[in-house]
Amino acid sequence: MPRTAWFLNLDAEEELAAPERWHRSPRLWRATAAARTQAFEQLAAPGDILLELGEHVPAQVRGQAWCPTLSALEELTRAGAALPDAPPMEVLRRVNDRRFLQMLGLAHPEGRLFESAEEYARGTRDCVTPLRHKTLFGAAGRGQRVVGPASATASDREWVRARFAAGPLWVEPELEVLAEFAVHGLVERDGRVSVGAACEQRTTAQGAWQTTRAGHGDVLPGPARPVAQAAAERAGAGLAAAGYFGPFGLDGLVHSGGVHPATDLNARFTMGWRAPGGRSDP
């Protein structure tokens, strides 16, 4: 009998961004099919099931979600799987919002949250260097764009305008990346936090995941290791204090000016996720 049925809702951020008006996009679900298979191969144990929409599982099979949103739990219920213990939806929304990283003091120190297009226009009027724009919820590079305000194209300006129509934007300097890394952790139900070693990670220029290599001593230069470790421990403690429990991943990078240990905090499973204790599923 299968041990776990995995519902890998890689569209979780879209649901978290606007749960009251969200409907699963068939186009996005199809577009993430290969990524779901890749994630399943990383996370699953022998005999586990990759659950697709509308499928059913044998009785007593344990369910697990990429991110246990309302729709993911509903899909596991329809499939007949035993539901996993999961944080409330409001906790998932709070800790996956980019403002949570700012609240923890881990966001880029020169980054800024803009609430409106007018505020953004005033705040970036004199900026001549490229800026990375991020919506409050996003994954796999969705909701991100690098724009040089002084050299913005018509397409750039339309993208920014459309994003502000949906909500605030986090804007930070675009960095010259020398190396990328991720630190994975696990928050237990009782609030205990465990954090693993940094893994080498590669993403596209848009921020979409490509590969993760297990942590070894040479993944980060010596001075960067304690910075990455401390940031991950701080993130884990903040997640626990907010009422979250489950897996998380903290992405960071080494750049020409130093180390930025927290470009993104994902309170869910991630591509390339590795449990600190060697397990794939909590």
CATH code for the domain in which residue 202 is found = 3.30.470.20
Q: Which residue reads 């979600």 in tokens?
A: 65
Q: Do 61 and 116 belong together in one domain?
A: no
Which of residues 142, 173, 204 is at a domain's end? 173
Q: Do 223 and 212 belong together in one domain?
A: yes
Q: Do 187 and 210 belong together in one domain?
A: yes
What distance in Å separates the CA atoms of residue 197 and residue 276, rounded to the nearest whole number? 8
Query: Looking at the domain assignment, is residue 68 inside a domain?
Result: yes
Q: Do 36 and 80 belong together in one domain?
A: yes
Q: Do 63 and 137 belong together in one domain?
A: no
- 227-240 average pLDDT score: 95
Task: Please report the pLDDT score of residue 277 as a whole number.
Answer: 61
Query: Looking at the domain assignment, is residue 152 inside a domain?
Result: yes
Query: Looking at the domain assignment, is residue 16 inside a domain?
Result: yes
Number of domains in the chain: 3
Q: Which of these, 241, 248, 244, 239, lies nearest to 269 by C-alpha position?
A: 248
Q: Are 243 and 190 in contact (CB under 8 A)?
A: no
Q: Do 123 and 195 belong together in one domain?
A: no
Q: What is the pLDDT of residues 108-162, one digit of tens each?
A: 999 999 999 999 989 988 888 899 999 999 877 778 888 887 778 899 889 999 9
Q: Do 51 and 121 belong together in one domain?
A: no
Q: What is the pLDDT of residues 237-263, one digit of tens each?
A: 999 999 999 999 999 999 988 889 999
Q: Do 181 and 245 belong together in one domain?
A: yes
CATH code of the domain containing 161: 3.30.1490.20
Q: Which of these, 16, 17, 18, 52, lies nearest to 32 by C-alpha position?
A: 52
Query: Looking at the domain assignment, is residue 59 inside a domain?
Result: yes
Query: Looking at the domain assignment, is residue 10 inside a domain?
Result: yes
Which of residues 152, 173, 194 is at a domain's end? 173
Q: What separation in angstroms does the CA of 164 have from each of 12, 107, 116, 270?
A: 20, 20, 6, 27
Q: Are 281 and 126 in contact (CB under 8 A)?
A: no
Q: Which of these, 70, 75, 31, lies nearest to 50 by C-alpha position?
A: 75
Task: Please report the pLDDT score of residue 46 as a whole number.
Answer: 92
Query: Looking at the domain assignment, is residue 194 inside a domain?
Result: yes
Per-residue pLDDT for 90 more than 90? yes
What distance in Å separates the CA atoms of residue 220 and residue 46, rounded to the nearest whole number? 32
Task: Please report the pLDDT score of residue 211 as a whole number.
Answer: 76
Q: Which of these, 42, 33, 27, 26, lies nearest to 10 by C-alpha position?
A: 33
Query: Looking at the domain assignment, is residue 277 inside a domain?
Result: no
Reported as a pLDDT band with limits 50, 70 and 90, residue 280 is: very low
- pTM of full prediction above 0.85: yes
Task: Please report the pLDDT score of residue 150 as a whole number.
Answer: 73
Q: Do 192 and 249 belong together in one domain?
A: yes
147 phi and psi angles, rounded to 5 deg = -135, 130
Q: Do 160 and 211 belong together in one domain?
A: no
Query: Looking at the domain assignment, is residue 244 inside a domain?
Result: yes
What distance in Å separates the CA atoms of residue 118 and residue 44, rounded to the nearest whole number? 47
Task: Please report the pLDDT score of residue 235 as a whole number.
Answer: 97
Per-residue pLDDT for 281 more than 50? no
Q: Do 71 and 25 belong together in one domain?
A: yes
The overall average pLDDT reported for the chain is 89
Which of residues 158, 173, 188 is at a domain's end? 173
What percentage of the chain reaches a pLDDT higher than 90? 62
Q: Do 211 and 244 belong together in one domain?
A: yes
Task: Please report the pLDDT score of residue 218 as a whole number.
Answer: 60
HEC-encoded secondary structure of the chain:
CCCEEEECCCCHHHHHHCCCCCCCCHHHHHHCHHHHHHHHHHHCCCCCEECCCCCCCCCCCEEEECCCCHHHHHHHHHHCCECCCCCCHHHHHHHHCHHHHHHCCCCCCCCEEECCHHHHHHHCCCCCCCEEEEECCCCCCCCEEEECHHHCCHHHHHHHHHHHHHCCEEEEECCCEEEEEEEEEEECCCCCEEECCCEEEEECCCCCEEEEECCCCCCCCCCHHHHHHHHHHHHHHHHHHCCCCEEEEEEEEEECCEEEEEEEEECCCCCCCCCCCCCCCC
Residue 134 belongs to domain spanning? 112-173
- 223-227 average pLDDT score: 84
Query: What is the radius of gyration, based on Cα positions, of the chain?
Result: 19
